[in-house]
Amino acid sequence: MIGVQDFIGTYDWTFEYLRRRYGAAALREYWARSIAFESQNHAYVLIRDRGLSGMAEYWGHTLDSEQAGYRAHLDADFFRIDMYACPSLGYLLRIGQSCYADYCQHCMGWIKPIMDRCGFVVDHEHNHAGQCWWEMRAADSTPAGDAPPLRGEHDVRHLPGWRQARHDLWLASRLVSRKLT
């Protein structure tokens, strides 16, 4: 059994290997098939069967076991995660490893296909520094528009370090912006 740090490093290396050897489309296919519906099939089943409460159960258990720095909120209309300290990217940043240049994209790479299949959309933004926020809601509940408003004192966007050099923003499960801040 490999330790979590070995796993994170191997994940990072594998993403870059697949991208370099087979192309970006093959890497996205790997995330969408092998991770979403094979390795994370248990997440898919929980979300398919229990919706927003299944998301809260899955990420509550997973992020607690990974010792992530986060807050989660389950509302009647959405499930939200504010990630202050991503354990995976945080580890890679601490050791100076960056094989795959866009490591954060793998989360949307496997989460979006699950949400699509289960009838949900994702609003998401990450800053490539181990901080991000997620809001998942029913696909037909609200049209795509602007990012959701600040969600109280625990919203990661309040952090002084939130404004890092590059952000990727997804609204209604579509990448809408890759910008320098």
**pLDDT digits over 117-153, tens only?**
999 999 999 999 999 999 999 998 766 678 888 999 9
Shortest CA distance to 111 belongs to which of 127, 124, 94, 128?
Answer: 124
Shortest CA distance to 162 belongs to which of 136, 134, 181?
Answer: 181
Name the residue range of residue 83's domain: 4-141+150-180
Distance between CA 18 and CA 99 in Å, rounded? Answer: 11
Instruction: Please state the domain count of the chain.
Output: 1
Per-residue pLDDT tens over the stretch 138-148: 998 766 678 88
CATH code of the domain in which 73 resides = 3.30.1380
Say whether pTM exceeds 0.85.
yes
